[in-house]
Structure 1
Amino acid sequence: MDDILTRAGMTDCKSLSTPAAVTKSATPTTDPYENPTQYRRLAGALQYLTITRPDLSYAVNRLCQFMHTPTDEHWAMLKRVLHYVKGTITHGLRLSVSSSSDVHAYSDSDWAGCPMDRKSTSGYAVFLGSNLVSWVSRKQRTAARSSTEAEYKGLADVAAEVTWVMSLLGELGLQSRNPATLWCDNLGATYMCANPVFHARTKHVEIDYHFIRDKVSTGEFLVNFVSTKDQLADIFTKPLASARFSSLRDKLNVVSPPPSA
Protein backbone atom coordinates (compact mmCIF):
# COMPACT_ATOMS: atom_id res chain seq x y z
CA MET A 1 0.00 0.00 0.00
CA ASP A 2 2.86 2.37 0.80
CA ASP A 3 4.42 1.56 -2.56
CA ILE A 4 1.21 2.31 -4.46
CA LEU A 5 0.79 5.64 -2.67
CA THR A 6 4.42 6.53 -3.38
CA ARG A 7 4.05 5.73 -7.09
CA ALA A 8 0.97 7.95 -7.21
CA GLY A 9 2.71 10.79 -5.34
CA MET A 10 0.04 10.65 -2.61
CA THR A 11 1.98 9.60 0.49
CA ASP A 12 0.78 12.68 2.38
CA CYS A 13 -2.79 12.77 1.07
CA LYS A 14 -5.82 13.10 3.33
CA SER A 15 -7.80 9.98 4.18
CA LEU A 16 -11.41 9.20 3.23
CA SER A 17 -13.84 6.81 4.90
CA THR A 18 -15.06 5.05 1.72
CA PRO A 19 -13.37 4.13 -1.58
CA ALA A 20 -16.30 5.17 -3.82
CA ALA A 21 -18.65 8.14 -3.75
CA VAL A 22 -22.33 7.39 -3.24
CA THR A 23 -23.64 10.41 -5.13
CA LYS A 24 -21.69 10.12 -8.37
CA SER A 25 -21.70 7.29 -10.91
CA ALA A 26 -19.07 6.52 -13.51
CA THR A 27 -20.05 8.00 -16.88
CA PRO A 28 -18.13 8.48 -20.11
CA THR A 29 -16.62 11.95 -20.56
CA THR A 30 -14.79 13.60 -23.43
CA ASP A 31 -11.70 14.58 -21.43
CA PRO A 32 -9.09 11.79 -21.73
CA TYR A 33 -6.63 11.53 -18.87
CA GLU A 34 -3.23 12.85 -19.90
CA ASN A 35 -1.27 9.85 -18.57
CA PRO A 36 -3.27 6.65 -19.28
CA THR A 37 -0.21 4.47 -18.60
CA GLN A 38 -0.04 5.72 -15.03
CA TYR A 39 -3.75 5.03 -14.60
CA ARG A 40 -3.35 1.46 -15.85
CA ARG A 41 -0.31 0.78 -13.66
CA LEU A 42 -2.02 1.99 -10.49
CA ALA A 43 -5.32 0.25 -11.26
CA GLY A 44 -3.40 -2.96 -11.91
CA ALA A 45 -1.51 -2.60 -8.64
CA LEU A 46 -4.80 -2.10 -6.79
CA GLN A 47 -6.04 -5.38 -8.27
CA TYR A 48 -3.29 -7.21 -6.38
CA LEU A 49 -4.30 -5.37 -3.22
CA THR A 50 -7.82 -6.82 -3.41
CA ILE A 51 -6.32 -10.27 -2.70
CA THR A 52 -6.30 -9.34 0.99
CA ARG A 53 -8.61 -6.31 0.93
CA PRO A 54 -12.13 -7.36 -0.14
CA ASP A 55 -13.45 -3.93 0.86
CA LEU A 56 -11.71 -2.53 -2.24
CA SER A 57 -13.21 -5.03 -4.68
CA TYR A 58 -16.15 -2.99 -5.96
CA ALA A 59 -14.22 0.25 -6.42
CA VAL A 60 -11.25 -1.45 -8.14
CA ASN A 61 -13.52 -3.52 -10.39
CA ARG A 62 -15.16 -0.31 -11.55
CA LEU A 63 -11.80 1.36 -12.20
CA CYS A 64 -10.62 -1.58 -14.32
CA GLN A 65 -13.60 -1.21 -16.64
CA PHE A 66 -12.03 1.98 -18.02
CA MET A 67 -8.46 0.78 -18.60
CA HIS A 68 -8.68 1.28 -22.38
CA THR A 69 -9.51 4.99 -22.41
CA PRO A 70 -9.43 6.51 -18.90
CA THR A 71 -10.67 10.06 -18.48
CA ASP A 72 -10.07 12.79 -15.92
CA GLU A 73 -13.20 11.59 -14.10
CA HIS A 74 -11.85 8.05 -13.87
CA TRP A 75 -8.54 9.38 -12.54
CA ALA A 76 -10.46 11.25 -9.84
CA MET A 77 -12.19 7.97 -8.95
CA LEU A 78 -8.83 6.21 -8.68
CA LYS A 79 -7.45 8.98 -6.45
CA ARG A 80 -10.44 8.59 -4.14
CA VAL A 81 -9.57 4.90 -3.72
CA LEU A 82 -6.02 5.90 -2.82
CA HIS A 83 -7.32 8.41 -0.26
CA TYR A 84 -9.27 5.55 1.31
CA VAL A 85 -6.20 3.27 1.26
CA LYS A 86 -4.23 5.98 3.05
CA GLY A 87 -6.75 6.00 5.89
CA THR A 88 -6.89 2.20 6.21
CA ILE A 89 -3.25 1.34 5.61
CA THR A 90 -3.11 -0.93 8.67
CA HIS A 91 -6.22 -2.91 7.71
CA GLY A 92 -6.11 -6.48 6.47
CA LEU A 93 -8.13 -9.69 6.32
CA ARG A 94 -8.30 -11.43 9.69
CA LEU A 95 -8.31 -15.25 9.79
CA SER A 96 -9.03 -16.91 13.12
CA VAL A 97 -9.82 -20.31 14.59
CA SER A 98 -13.42 -21.28 13.87
CA SER A 99 -15.48 -23.90 15.66
CA SER A 100 -17.46 -24.59 12.48
CA SER A 101 -16.40 -25.88 9.08
CA ASP A 102 -19.76 -25.16 7.43
CA VAL A 103 -19.73 -23.21 4.17
CA HIS A 104 -22.14 -20.33 3.75
CA ALA A 105 -22.22 -17.54 1.20
CA TYR A 106 -23.94 -14.21 0.59
CA SER A 107 -24.96 -13.19 -2.92
CA ASP A 108 -26.20 -9.79 -4.08
CA SER A 109 -26.76 -7.92 -7.34
CA ASP A 110 -27.33 -4.28 -8.19
CA TRP A 111 -29.85 -4.44 -11.02
CA ALA A 112 -28.95 -2.34 -14.10
CA GLY A 113 -26.46 -0.40 -11.99
CA CYS A 114 -24.16 0.61 -14.86
CA PRO A 115 -25.47 3.84 -16.43
CA MET A 116 -23.78 3.10 -19.76
CA ASP A 117 -24.93 -0.41 -20.70
CA ARG A 118 -27.46 -1.09 -17.90
CA LYS A 119 -25.78 -4.35 -16.96
CA SER A 120 -25.94 -5.47 -13.35
CA THR A 121 -23.08 -5.81 -10.90
CA SER A 122 -22.91 -9.04 -8.89
CA GLY A 123 -20.96 -9.75 -5.76
CA TYR A 124 -20.58 -12.60 -3.31
CA ALA A 125 -18.78 -13.50 -0.12
CA VAL A 126 -18.04 -17.13 0.77
CA PHE A 127 -17.31 -18.06 4.38
CA LEU A 128 -15.73 -21.20 5.83
CA GLY A 129 -17.02 -21.09 9.37
CA SER A 130 -16.43 -17.50 10.48
CA ASN A 131 -13.63 -16.81 7.99
CA LEU A 132 -14.03 -15.13 4.62
CA VAL A 133 -12.28 -17.32 2.03
CA SER A 134 -13.58 -16.13 -1.35
CA TRP A 135 -15.21 -12.99 -2.73
CA VAL A 136 -15.84 -11.21 -6.01
CA SER A 137 -17.32 -8.07 -7.50
CA ARG A 138 -17.95 -8.04 -11.25
CA LYS A 139 -20.31 -6.89 -13.94
CA GLN A 140 -22.64 -9.53 -15.38
CA ARG A 141 -22.06 -10.65 -18.96
CA THR A 142 -25.60 -9.92 -20.15
CA ALA A 143 -28.28 -7.40 -19.23
CA ALA A 144 -31.02 -8.67 -16.92
CA ARG A 145 -34.68 -7.93 -17.56
CA SER A 146 -35.59 -7.79 -13.87
CA SER A 147 -34.00 -7.56 -10.44
CA THR A 148 -35.01 -11.18 -9.82
CA GLU A 149 -33.14 -12.30 -12.92
CA ALA A 150 -30.05 -10.31 -11.89
CA GLU A 151 -30.12 -11.88 -8.42
CA TYR A 152 -30.64 -15.35 -9.90
CA LYS A 153 -27.59 -14.94 -12.12
CA GLY A 154 -25.62 -13.83 -9.08
CA LEU A 155 -26.73 -16.93 -7.19
CA ALA A 156 -25.58 -19.12 -10.08
CA ASP A 157 -22.13 -17.50 -9.94
CA VAL A 158 -21.72 -18.04 -6.21
CA ALA A 159 -23.04 -21.60 -6.56
CA ALA A 160 -20.20 -22.36 -8.97
CA GLU A 161 -17.67 -20.88 -6.54
CA VAL A 162 -19.10 -22.76 -3.55
CA THR A 163 -19.05 -26.00 -5.55
CA TRP A 164 -15.32 -25.49 -6.13
CA VAL A 165 -14.66 -24.58 -2.48
CA MET A 166 -16.48 -27.68 -1.23
CA SER A 167 -14.63 -29.87 -3.73
CA LEU A 168 -11.30 -28.49 -2.50
CA LEU A 169 -12.29 -29.02 1.14
CA GLY A 170 -13.27 -32.59 0.30
CA GLU A 171 -9.84 -33.27 -1.16
CA LEU A 172 -8.29 -31.89 2.03
CA GLY A 173 -10.53 -34.04 4.22
CA LEU A 174 -12.23 -30.97 5.71
CA GLN A 175 -15.64 -31.10 4.08
CA SER A 176 -18.63 -30.42 6.34
CA ARG A 177 -21.51 -32.89 6.44
CA ASN A 178 -24.01 -30.05 6.26
CA PRO A 179 -25.14 -28.59 2.91
CA ALA A 180 -23.80 -25.18 1.95
CA THR A 181 -26.15 -22.30 2.65
CA LEU A 182 -26.57 -19.44 0.18
CA TRP A 183 -28.15 -16.21 1.40
CA CYS A 184 -30.00 -13.90 -0.99
CA ASP A 185 -32.11 -10.80 -0.32
CA ASN A 186 -34.48 -11.33 -3.26
CA LEU A 187 -37.45 -13.63 -2.59
CA GLY A 188 -38.15 -14.17 -6.28
CA ALA A 189 -34.65 -15.50 -6.87
CA THR A 190 -34.85 -17.85 -3.89
CA TYR A 191 -38.18 -19.23 -5.15
CA MET A 192 -36.75 -19.65 -8.64
CA CYS A 193 -34.02 -21.93 -7.30
CA ALA A 194 -36.55 -24.47 -6.05
CA ASN A 195 -39.89 -23.92 -7.83
CA PRO A 196 -40.13 -25.20 -11.43
CA VAL A 197 -43.25 -23.08 -11.99
CA PHE A 198 -40.99 -20.06 -12.31
CA HIS A 199 -39.14 -21.70 -15.21
CA ALA A 200 -41.68 -20.35 -17.67
CA ARG A 201 -40.64 -16.82 -16.73
CA THR A 202 -36.96 -17.51 -17.32
CA LYS A 203 -36.89 -19.24 -20.69
CA HIS A 204 -34.69 -16.44 -22.02
CA VAL A 205 -32.10 -16.99 -19.27
CA GLU A 206 -29.04 -18.91 -20.42
CA ILE A 207 -29.04 -22.61 -19.53
CA ASP A 208 -25.80 -22.42 -17.54
CA TYR A 209 -27.50 -20.27 -14.91
CA HIS A 210 -30.05 -22.99 -14.11
CA PHE A 211 -27.59 -25.54 -12.69
CA ILE A 212 -28.14 -24.09 -9.22
CA ARG A 213 -31.62 -25.64 -9.27
CA ASP A 214 -30.03 -29.09 -9.63
CA LYS A 215 -27.83 -28.36 -6.60
CA VAL A 216 -30.87 -27.36 -4.54
CA SER A 217 -32.93 -30.36 -5.65
CA THR A 218 -30.17 -32.81 -4.65
CA GLY A 219 -29.78 -31.19 -1.24
CA GLU A 220 -26.22 -29.95 -1.80
CA PHE A 221 -27.27 -26.32 -1.34
CA LEU A 222 -29.85 -24.49 0.73
CA VAL A 223 -30.96 -21.11 -0.60
CA ASN A 224 -32.41 -18.86 2.10
CA PHE A 225 -33.69 -15.31 2.23
CA VAL A 226 -31.78 -12.67 4.17
CA SER A 227 -32.92 -9.10 4.75
CA THR A 228 -31.12 -6.37 2.86
CA LYS A 229 -29.71 -4.88 6.07
CA ASP A 230 -28.01 -8.21 6.84
CA GLN A 231 -26.76 -8.76 3.26
CA LEU A 232 -22.96 -8.77 3.57
CA ALA A 233 -22.41 -8.89 -0.20
CA ASP A 234 -23.98 -5.43 -0.51
CA ILE A 235 -20.47 -3.99 -0.24
CA PHE A 236 -19.49 -5.67 -3.55
CA THR A 237 -22.29 -4.27 -5.72
CA LYS A 238 -22.63 -0.53 -5.12
CA PRO A 239 -21.15 2.51 -3.36
CA LEU A 240 -22.29 2.76 0.25
CA ALA A 241 -22.52 5.46 2.88
CA SER A 242 -19.70 5.55 5.41
CA ALA A 243 -21.57 3.97 8.35
CA ARG A 244 -22.98 1.10 6.26
CA PHE A 245 -19.63 0.52 4.54
CA SER A 246 -17.71 0.36 7.83
CA SER A 247 -20.24 -2.02 9.35
CA LEU A 248 -20.03 -4.46 6.45
CA ARG A 249 -16.24 -4.17 6.28
CA ASP A 250 -16.02 -5.26 9.91
CA LYS A 251 -18.36 -8.22 9.29
CA LEU A 252 -16.09 -9.33 6.43
CA ASN A 253 -13.22 -9.43 8.97
CA VAL A 254 -11.29 -6.58 7.33
CA VAL A 255 -9.88 -4.97 10.45
CA SER A 256 -6.87 -3.17 11.83
CA PRO A 257 -4.80 -5.19 14.31
CA PRO A 258 -4.91 -4.04 17.93
CA PRO A 259 -1.90 -2.02 19.07
CA SER A 260 0.89 -4.13 20.48
CA ALA A 261 1.44 -4.03 24.21
Structure 2
Amino acid sequence: MGSDSSRVDGLVAQLARTFKIRDMGPPSFFLGIETMSLSDGILLSQRRYIQDILRRAGMVDCKPVSTPISVARSDVDDSTPFADPTHYRSIAGALQYLTVTRPDLSYAVNRLCQRMQSPTTADWAVMKRVLRYVKGTLGMGLCIRKSESLALHAFSDSDWAGNPDDRKSTSGFAVFLGSNLITWSCREQRTVARSSTEAEYKALADVAAEVTWLVSLLRKIGFPPDAAPGLWCDNLGATYLCANPVFHARTKHVEIDYHFVRDKVAKKELQVHFISTKDQLADIFTKPLASARFSLLRDKLNISNAPP
Protein backbone atom coordinates (compact mmCIF):
# COMPACT_ATOMS: atom_id res chain seq x y z
CA MET A 1 0.00 0.00 0.00
CA GLY A 2 1.11 3.55 -0.54
CA SER A 3 0.07 7.09 -1.40
CA ASP A 4 1.89 7.08 -4.79
CA SER A 5 0.08 4.74 -7.20
CA SER A 6 2.89 4.82 -9.78
CA ARG A 7 5.44 3.57 -7.23
CA VAL A 8 3.02 0.86 -6.07
CA ASP A 9 2.51 -0.28 -9.67
CA GLY A 10 6.29 -0.25 -10.24
CA LEU A 11 6.88 -2.44 -7.20
CA VAL A 12 4.21 -4.91 -8.35
CA ALA A 13 5.86 -5.04 -11.80
CA GLN A 14 9.28 -5.79 -10.24
CA LEU A 15 7.79 -8.57 -8.13
CA ALA A 16 6.10 -10.02 -11.22
CA ARG A 17 9.47 -10.38 -12.95
CA THR A 18 10.71 -12.65 -10.17
CA PHE A 19 7.57 -14.34 -8.83
CA LYS A 20 4.45 -15.66 -10.48
CA ILE A 21 1.84 -13.21 -9.22
CA ARG A 22 -1.46 -11.81 -10.44
CA ASP A 23 -3.00 -8.44 -9.64
CA MET A 24 -6.62 -9.17 -8.70
CA GLY A 25 -7.61 -5.51 -8.48
CA PRO A 26 -9.47 -3.89 -5.59
CA PRO A 27 -10.17 -6.26 -2.67
CA SER A 28 -13.58 -7.90 -2.65
CA PHE A 29 -13.49 -11.32 -0.95
CA PHE A 30 -10.43 -12.89 0.67
CA LEU A 31 -10.07 -15.60 3.34
CA GLY A 32 -13.76 -15.36 4.21
CA ILE A 33 -13.65 -11.57 4.64
CA GLU A 34 -15.75 -9.46 2.29
CA THR A 35 -14.72 -5.86 1.61
CA MET A 36 -17.55 -3.47 0.77
CA SER A 37 -17.01 0.12 -0.31
CA LEU A 38 -18.64 2.95 1.64
CA SER A 39 -18.86 6.62 0.75
CA ASP A 40 -16.12 7.43 3.26
CA GLY A 41 -14.30 4.12 3.69
CA ILE A 42 -14.81 0.35 3.68
CA LEU A 43 -16.73 -2.28 5.65
CA LEU A 44 -15.10 -5.61 6.50
CA SER A 45 -17.74 -8.31 6.83
CA GLN A 46 -17.81 -12.11 7.16
CA ARG A 47 -21.46 -12.64 6.24
CA ARG A 48 -20.91 -15.73 4.10
CA TYR A 49 -18.56 -17.21 6.68
CA ILE A 50 -21.24 -16.70 9.38
CA GLN A 51 -23.82 -18.50 7.25
CA ASP A 52 -21.44 -21.44 6.91
CA ILE A 53 -20.97 -21.57 10.71
CA LEU A 54 -24.74 -21.57 11.27
CA ARG A 55 -25.16 -24.43 8.76
CA ARG A 56 -22.45 -26.47 10.49
CA ALA A 57 -24.13 -25.91 13.85
CA GLY A 58 -27.61 -26.70 12.47
CA MET A 59 -28.93 -23.28 13.53
CA VAL A 60 -29.75 -21.57 10.22
CA ASP A 61 -33.34 -20.93 11.33
CA CYS A 62 -32.65 -20.07 14.98
CA LYS A 63 -34.31 -17.15 16.74
CA PRO A 64 -32.01 -14.09 17.15
CA VAL A 65 -31.14 -12.46 20.50
CA SER A 66 -29.79 -8.98 21.23
CA THR A 67 -26.62 -9.92 23.16
CA PRO A 68 -24.17 -12.85 22.90
CA ILE A 69 -23.96 -13.46 26.68
CA SER A 70 -26.80 -13.21 29.19
CA VAL A 71 -26.31 -10.82 32.11
CA ALA A 72 -28.23 -13.14 34.44
CA ARG A 73 -26.16 -15.98 35.87
CA SER A 74 -27.73 -19.40 35.97
CA ASP A 75 -28.02 -21.04 39.40
CA VAL A 76 -28.09 -24.46 37.77
CA ASP A 77 -24.65 -26.13 37.77
CA ASP A 78 -24.96 -28.50 34.82
CA SER A 79 -21.66 -30.35 34.60
CA THR A 80 -22.96 -33.07 32.23
CA PRO A 81 -20.28 -33.61 29.54
CA PHE A 82 -21.34 -32.53 26.07
CA ALA A 83 -21.94 -35.53 23.83
CA ASP A 84 -19.78 -34.31 20.91
CA PRO A 85 -16.82 -32.26 22.20
CA THR A 86 -15.16 -32.31 18.74
CA HIS A 87 -18.16 -30.51 17.27
CA TYR A 88 -18.03 -27.95 20.10
CA ARG A 89 -14.33 -27.29 19.45
CA SER A 90 -14.93 -26.95 15.72
CA ILE A 91 -17.63 -24.29 16.17
CA ALA A 92 -15.63 -22.48 18.87
CA GLY A 93 -12.61 -22.33 16.56
CA ALA A 94 -14.75 -20.99 13.73
CA LEU A 95 -16.16 -18.29 16.01
CA GLN A 96 -12.63 -17.36 17.03
CA TYR A 97 -11.80 -16.48 13.41
CA LEU A 98 -15.02 -14.48 13.22
CA THR A 99 -13.66 -12.04 15.82
CA VAL A 100 -11.28 -10.75 13.11
CA THR A 101 -14.08 -8.41 11.99
CA ARG A 102 -16.42 -8.71 14.99
CA PRO A 103 -14.80 -7.32 18.16
CA ASP A 104 -18.20 -7.43 19.88
CA LEU A 105 -17.88 -11.24 20.03
CA SER A 106 -14.46 -11.24 21.73
CA TYR A 107 -15.63 -11.74 25.32
CA ALA A 108 -18.19 -14.41 24.46
CA VAL A 109 -15.77 -16.37 22.27
CA ASN A 110 -13.05 -16.09 24.93
CA ARG A 111 -15.40 -17.75 27.42
CA LEU A 112 -16.30 -20.51 24.98
CA CYS A 113 -12.67 -21.26 24.14
CA GLN A 114 -11.77 -21.61 27.83
CA ARG A 115 -14.11 -24.63 27.94
CA MET A 116 -12.80 -26.43 24.84
CA GLN A 117 -10.95 -29.13 26.77
CA SER A 118 -14.05 -30.60 28.43
CA PRO A 119 -17.23 -28.81 27.33
CA THR A 120 -20.51 -29.46 29.14
CA THR A 121 -24.12 -29.19 28.02
CA ALA A 122 -24.24 -25.81 29.79
CA ASP A 123 -21.30 -24.62 27.68
CA TRP A 124 -23.12 -25.75 24.53
CA ALA A 125 -26.16 -23.75 25.63
CA VAL A 126 -23.94 -20.65 25.92
CA MET A 127 -22.55 -21.32 22.46
CA LYS A 128 -26.05 -21.60 21.00
CA ARG A 129 -26.90 -18.19 22.44
CA VAL A 130 -23.79 -16.73 20.80
CA LEU A 131 -24.88 -18.26 17.49
CA ARG A 132 -28.36 -16.80 17.92
CA TYR A 133 -26.80 -13.37 18.41
CA VAL A 134 -24.65 -13.88 15.31
CA LYS A 135 -27.77 -14.84 13.36
CA GLY A 136 -29.41 -11.53 14.29
CA THR A 137 -26.35 -9.48 13.31
CA LEU A 138 -25.51 -11.33 10.10
CA GLY A 139 -24.68 -8.23 8.06
CA MET A 140 -22.56 -6.45 10.64
CA GLY A 141 -18.87 -5.78 10.20
CA LEU A 142 -16.00 -3.49 11.11
CA CYS A 143 -15.99 -0.06 9.46
CA ILE A 144 -12.71 1.60 8.47
CA ARG A 145 -13.29 5.25 7.59
CA LYS A 146 -11.14 8.17 6.50
CA SER A 147 -9.66 9.94 9.50
CA GLU A 148 -7.84 13.25 9.63
CA SER A 149 -6.11 12.31 12.88
CA LEU A 150 -3.21 9.90 13.38
CA ALA A 151 -3.44 10.09 17.17
CA LEU A 152 -3.02 6.73 18.88
CA HIS A 153 -5.17 6.12 21.95
CA ALA A 154 -6.41 3.07 23.82
CA PHE A 155 -9.08 2.03 26.33
CA SER A 156 -8.17 -0.52 29.00
CA ASP A 157 -10.48 -2.32 31.41
CA SER A 158 -10.59 -5.33 33.70
CA ASP A 159 -13.31 -7.30 35.45
CA TRP A 160 -11.86 -8.14 38.86
CA ALA A 161 -12.12 -11.83 39.84
CA GLY A 162 -14.83 -12.35 37.25
CA ASN A 163 -14.17 -16.07 36.75
CA PRO A 164 -16.08 -17.94 39.50
CA ASP A 165 -13.96 -21.07 38.99
CA ASP A 166 -10.44 -19.73 39.58
CA ARG A 167 -11.15 -16.06 40.50
CA LYS A 168 -8.87 -14.76 37.79
CA SER A 169 -9.68 -11.43 36.18
CA THR A 170 -10.48 -10.76 32.53
CA SER A 171 -8.58 -7.96 30.79
CA GLY A 172 -9.67 -6.17 27.65
CA PHE A 173 -8.45 -3.30 25.54
CA ALA A 174 -9.29 -1.42 22.36
CA VAL A 175 -6.70 0.62 20.45
CA PHE A 176 -7.73 3.36 18.02
CA LEU A 177 -5.72 5.12 15.32
CA GLY A 178 -7.63 8.33 14.85
CA SER A 179 -11.27 7.27 14.79
CA ASN A 180 -10.62 3.69 13.63
CA LEU A 181 -10.38 0.61 15.81
CA ILE A 182 -7.21 -1.21 14.74
CA THR A 183 -6.55 -3.80 17.44
CA TRP A 184 -8.34 -5.26 20.46
CA SER A 185 -8.00 -8.06 22.96
CA CYS A 186 -9.90 -10.07 25.54
CA ARG A 187 -7.92 -12.47 27.71
CA GLU A 188 -7.85 -13.99 31.17
CA GLN A 189 -4.99 -12.77 33.36
CA ARG A 190 -2.27 -15.26 34.26
CA THR A 191 -2.44 -14.69 38.03
CA VAL A 192 -5.15 -13.89 40.57
CA ALA A 193 -5.33 -10.19 41.43
CA ARG A 194 -5.76 -9.24 45.08
CA SER A 195 -7.57 -5.99 44.31
CA SER A 196 -9.39 -4.24 41.47
CA THR A 197 -6.48 -1.79 41.24
CA GLU A 198 -4.03 -4.62 40.67
CA ALA A 199 -6.29 -6.17 38.01
CA GLU A 200 -6.61 -2.84 36.18
CA TYR A 201 -2.85 -2.23 36.45
CA LYS A 202 -2.14 -5.57 34.81
CA ALA A 203 -4.59 -4.72 32.03
CA LEU A 204 -2.77 -1.41 31.50
CA ALA A 205 0.52 -3.28 31.16
CA ASP A 206 -0.96 -5.45 28.41
CA VAL A 207 -2.23 -2.51 26.38
CA ALA A 208 1.02 -0.59 26.98
CA ALA A 209 2.95 -3.41 25.31
CA GLU A 210 0.55 -3.39 22.35
CA VAL A 211 0.71 0.38 21.93
CA THR A 212 4.52 0.35 22.16
CA TRP A 213 4.66 -2.11 19.28
CA LEU A 214 2.18 -0.06 17.23
CA VAL A 215 4.22 3.12 17.73
CA SER A 216 7.29 1.25 16.46
CA LEU A 217 5.35 -0.01 13.42
CA LEU A 218 3.99 3.44 12.57
CA ARG A 219 7.49 4.91 12.72
CA LYS A 220 8.82 2.26 10.36
CA ILE A 221 6.18 3.03 7.72
CA GLY A 222 6.71 6.77 8.04
CA PHE A 223 3.77 7.84 10.21
CA PRO A 224 5.15 8.56 13.69
CA PRO A 225 2.55 9.76 16.22
CA ASP A 226 2.62 13.50 16.90
CA ALA A 227 2.20 13.01 20.66
CA ALA A 228 2.54 10.31 23.27
CA PRO A 229 -0.35 7.83 22.99
CA GLY A 230 -3.04 8.13 25.64
CA LEU A 231 -4.33 5.18 27.68
CA TRP A 232 -7.77 5.51 29.27
CA CYS A 233 -8.52 3.59 32.47
CA ASP A 234 -11.58 3.77 34.74
CA ASN A 235 -9.70 2.93 37.96
CA LEU A 236 -8.12 5.86 39.82
CA GLY A 237 -5.85 3.60 41.86
CA ALA A 238 -4.32 2.10 38.71
CA THR A 239 -3.76 5.52 37.13
CA TYR A 240 -2.02 6.75 40.31
CA LEU A 241 0.08 3.59 40.43
CA CYS A 242 1.40 4.33 36.94
CA ALA A 243 2.72 7.72 38.06
CA ASN A 244 3.48 7.48 41.78
CA PRO A 245 6.27 5.11 42.92
CA VAL A 246 5.09 5.34 46.54
CA PHE A 247 2.23 3.02 45.65
CA HIS A 248 4.70 0.29 44.69
CA ALA A 249 5.03 -0.63 48.37
CA ARG A 250 1.48 -2.01 48.17
CA THR A 251 2.20 -4.08 45.07
CA LYS A 252 5.42 -5.91 45.95
CA HIS A 253 3.79 -9.21 45.00
CA VAL A 254 2.97 -8.00 41.47
CA GLU A 255 5.23 -9.54 38.84
CA ILE A 256 8.03 -7.21 37.74
CA ASP A 257 7.09 -7.23 34.06
CA TYR A 258 3.86 -5.38 34.81
CA HIS A 259 5.76 -2.40 36.24
CA PHE A 260 7.23 -1.43 32.87
CA VAL A 261 4.09 0.61 32.21
CA ARG A 262 5.22 3.06 34.90
CA ASP A 263 8.61 3.42 33.19
CA LYS A 264 6.84 4.29 29.94
CA VAL A 265 4.86 6.99 31.74
CA ALA A 266 7.98 8.36 33.45
CA LYS A 267 9.73 8.62 30.06
CA LYS A 268 6.65 10.42 28.67
CA GLU A 269 6.21 7.70 26.05
CA LEU A 270 2.67 7.04 27.31
CA GLN A 271 0.01 9.07 29.06
CA VAL A 272 -2.46 7.36 31.40
CA HIS A 273 -5.76 9.17 31.99
CA PHE A 274 -8.82 8.43 34.09
CA ILE A 275 -12.15 7.92 32.36
CA SER A 276 -15.56 7.27 33.87
CA THR A 277 -16.96 3.75 33.62
CA LYS A 278 -19.89 4.89 31.48
CA ASP A 279 -17.42 6.10 28.82
CA GLN A 280 -15.14 3.07 29.02
CA LEU A 281 -15.31 1.39 25.58
CA ALA A 282 -13.27 -1.64 26.70
CA ASP A 283 -16.12 -2.60 29.06
CA ILE A 284 -17.53 -4.75 26.24
CA PHE A 285 -14.45 -7.02 26.40
CA THR A 286 -14.58 -7.86 30.11
CA LYS A 287 -18.11 -8.79 31.16
CA PRO A 288 -21.68 -9.52 30.00
CA LEU A 289 -23.67 -6.34 29.41
CA ALA A 290 -27.33 -5.41 29.15
CA SER A 291 -28.72 -4.94 25.65
CA ALA A 292 -28.77 -1.12 25.64
CA ARG A 293 -25.24 -0.78 27.02
CA PHE A 294 -23.91 -3.48 24.70
CA SER A 295 -25.41 -1.85 21.59
CA LEU A 296 -24.02 1.56 22.57
CA LEU A 297 -20.46 0.28 22.96
CA ARG A 298 -20.71 -1.84 19.83
CA ASP A 299 -21.58 1.25 17.79
CA LYS A 300 -18.64 3.16 19.29
CA LEU A 301 -16.31 0.37 18.15
CA ASN A 302 -17.39 1.17 14.56
CA ILE A 303 -19.32 -2.06 14.12
CA SER A 304 -22.31 -1.48 11.85
CA ASN A 305 -24.54 -3.11 9.25
CA ALA A 306 -23.63 -3.40 5.61
CA PRO A 307 -25.31 -0.84 3.33
CA PRO A 308 -28.40 -2.13 1.48
After TM superposition, is the score higher than 0.5? yes
CA deviation map 1:4-28 (0-9, x unaligned): 0000011111101000010126996
RMSD of aligned Cα (Å): 1.1
Specify the alignment match of 1:205 in structure 2: 254
- Give how far 1:258 is off: 2.8
Specify the alignment match of 1:216 in structure 2: 265
- Give how far 1:29 is off: 3.7
SS of the equivalent of 2:261 reads: helix
Query: Which residue of 86, 92, 100 maps to 2:149?
Result: 100
For 1:87 and 1:32, how far apart are their aligned partners in 2? 28
Confirm or deny: 8 A CA contact 2:79 2:122 kept in the other structure: no
Letter in 1 for 2:297: L
SS of the equivalent of 1:124 reads: strand
Specify the alignment match of 2:110 in structure 1: 61
CA deviation map 1:115-167 (0-9, x unaligned): 00000000000000000000011100000000000000000000000011111
Structure 1 pair 26/155, CA: closer, same or farther in 2 (3 Å)?
Answer: farther
**Aligned residue pairs: how many?**
259
For 1:38 and 1:24, how far apart are their aligned partners in 2? 25
For 2:290 and 2:133, how far apart are their aligned partners in 1? 13
SS of the equivalent of 2:182 reads: strand
Structure 2 residue 133 is the aligned partner of structure 1 residue 74 = no
For 1:27 and 1:147, how far apart are their aligned partners in 2? 28
Specify the alignment match of 1:47 in structure 2: 96
Specify the alignment match of 1:83 in structure 2: 132
Structure 1 pair 81/47, CA: closer, same or farther in 2 (3 Å)?
Answer: same
SS of the equivalent of 2:164 reads: coil
For 1:121 and 1:140, how far apart are their aligned partners in 2? 6
Specify the alignment match of 1:163 in structure 2: 212
Structure 2 residue 282 is the aligned partner of structure 1 residue 226 = no
Structure 1: any 5+ residue segments left out of the alignment? none
The worse-fitting range, judged by mean Cα deviation, of 184-193 and 165-174 is: 165-174
CA deviation map 1:31-68 (0-9, x unaligned): 00001010000000000000110000000000000001
Letter in 2 for 1:99: E
- Give how far 1:30 is off: 2.6
TM-score when scaled to structure 2?
Answer: 0.83
Confirm or deny: 8 A CA contact 1:123 1:138 kept in the other structure: yes
* Higher RCO (C-alpha under 8 Å, 6+ residues apart): 1
Letter in 1 for 2:101: T
CA deviation map 1:174-213 (0-9, x unaligned): 1212100000000000000000110100110000000001
Confirm or deny: 8 A CA contact 1:26 1:115 kept in the other structure: no
For 2:132 and 2:271, how far apart are their aligned partners in 1? 40
Confirm or deny: 8 A CA contact 1:27 1:116 kept in the other structure: no
- Give how far 1:257 is off: 2.3
Structure 2: any 5+ residue segments left out of the alignment? 1-49
Specify the alignment match of 1:144 in structure 2: 193
Query: Which residue of 53, 56, 67 maps to 1:4?
Result: 53
CA deviation map 1:90-113 (0-9, x unaligned): 000000010100100000000000
Structure 1 pair 168/152, CA: closer, same or farther in 2 (3 Å)?
Answer: same
For 1:171 and 1:42, how far apart are their aligned partners in 2? 38
Structure 1 pair 42/169, CA: closer, same or farther in 2 (3 Å)?
Answer: same
Confirm or deny: 8 A CA contact 1:25 1:115 kept in the other structure: no
Letter in 1 for 2:296: S
TM-score when scaled to structure 1?
Answer: 0.98
Letter in 2 for 1:256: N
Where in structure 1 do 4 or more consecutive aligned residues deviate above 6 Å? 25-28
Identity of aligned residues (%): 69
For 1:17 and 1:73, how far apart are their aligned partners in 2? 20
For 2:306 and 2:227, how far apart are their aligned partners in 1? 32
For 1:152 and 1:82, how far apart are their aligned partners in 2? 33
Structure 2 residue 242 is the aligned partner of structure 1 residue 193 = yes
For 2:201 and 2:267, how far apart are their aligned partners in 1? 18
